């Protein structure tokens, strides 16, 4: 009886893990397409956030962390998917893994602030870009408020797993004509997936009950 119960729990845990993970996170590389911008500009460039698709799926929010490359609307490219648990393939690796993690955590912090403060898209975008591209500070788009946001990000203390829902999409092409690197977040299960999960749980529960009564 105890072994059967353990097997049931393992089955349920596996189902939850599969349904809670977006399909694109299972691949080493994905196809990213930039489909649009929010329309805000600062310093002569479009500010974050942008919009796109991953493997021709539904639209996702994309936040660029890369000031020194360009991506055109409608452009598609191959990108390596990284999580905060493994940053070996990201574009802006620092001298130590700890510093790389700290910098990307600051970028994720600014990503969240960006979506919470739409009136400050430009200032927060330039703060995020300056994390990895110091020359962004030379642009007219980098303001005193951008520096305030940058200071706020660099003063944060982050905890392990705080940004476990983030993905870094790094172009496979690393040449000067490469598209930009983007951050996005993993999606929650769609209604159809949740319905499938509930149906599966009900079926397993019924099967387990029958075994107990047998």
pLDDT in tens, 88-109: 999 999 999 999 999 999 999 9
Q: Which tokens belong to 188?
A: 């929650």
State yes or no: pLDDT of 196 exceeds 60. no
State yes or no: pLDDT of 115 exceeds 60. yes
pLDDT for res 205? 43
State yes or no: pLDDT of 209 exceeds 60. no
CA distances from 127 to 10, 133, 153 (A): 44, 10, 9
CA distances from 58 to 53, 187, 212 (A): 6, 10, 43
Answer whether 31's CB lies under 8 Å from 56's CB.
yes
User: What value does the mean pLDDT take over residues 124-130?
Assistant: 98
User: What value does the mean pLDDT take over residues 102-119?
Assistant: 97
Same domain for 98 and 71: yes
Same domain for 168 and 211: no
User: What value does the mean pLDDT take over residues 15-43?
Assistant: 72
Same domain for 209 and 174: no
Q: 67-87 burial, b if ≥16 CB within 10 A, otherwise e?
A: bebebeeeeebebbbbebeeb
Same domain for 146 and 52: yes
Same domain for 121 and 141: yes
Distance CA 169, CA 74 (A): 17
pLDDT for res 28? 85
Q: Which residue's structure tokens are 């797993």?
A: 161
pLDDT for res 32? 97
Q: Which tokens belong to 46?
A: 């479009």
State yes or no: pLDDT of 174 exceeds 60. yes
Same domain for 110 and 16: no
Same domain for 166 and 89: yes
Q: Which tokens belong to 89?
A: 């393939």
Same domain for 111 and 69: yes
CA distances from 39 to 35, 43, 69, 141, 155 (A): 12, 13, 19, 15, 30
Percentage above 90 pLDDT, the chain: 72
Residue 91 belongs to what domain range?
Answer: 28-187
Q: How many domains, in total, are found in the chain?
A: 2
User: What value does the mean pLDDT take over residues 153-160?
Assistant: 96
Which three-class secondary structure state does DSSP give residue 74?
coil
User: What value does the mean pLDDT take over residues 112-137?
Assistant: 97
Render 130-192 in DSSP notation, one character per residue.
HHH-GGGGGSTT--HHHHHHHHHHHT----TTTTTTEEEEEES--STT----EEEEPPPPPHH
Beta-carbon count within 10 A of 108 CB: 23
């Amino acid at each position: 009886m105890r072994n059967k119960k353990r097997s049931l729990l393992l089955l349920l845990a596996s189902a939850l893990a599969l349904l809670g993970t977006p399909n694109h996170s299972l691949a080493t590389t994905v196809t990213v397409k930039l489909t649009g911008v929010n329309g805000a500009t600062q310093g002569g460039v479009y500010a974050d956030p942008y919009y796109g698709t991953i493997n021709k799926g539904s639209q996702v929010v994309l936040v660029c962390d890369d000031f020194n490359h360009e991506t055109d609307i409608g452009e598609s490219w191959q990108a390596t998917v990284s999580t905060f648990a493994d940053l070996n393939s990201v574009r802006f690796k620092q001298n130590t893994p700890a510093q790389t993690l700290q910098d990307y955590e600051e970028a994720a912090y600014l990503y969240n602030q960006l979506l919470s403060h739409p009136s400050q898209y430009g200032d927060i975008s330039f703060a995020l870009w300056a994390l990895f591209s110091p020359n962004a500070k030379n642009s007219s788009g980098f303001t005193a408020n951008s520096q305030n946001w940058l200071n706020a990000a660099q003063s944060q203390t982050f905890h392990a797993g705080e940004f476990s829902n983030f993905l870094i999409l790094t172009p496979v092409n690393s040449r000067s004509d490469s598209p930009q690197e983007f951050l996005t977040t993993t999606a929650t299960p769609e209604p159809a997936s949740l319905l499938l999960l509930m149906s599966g749980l009900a079926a397993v529960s019924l099967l387990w009950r029958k075994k107990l009564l047998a």
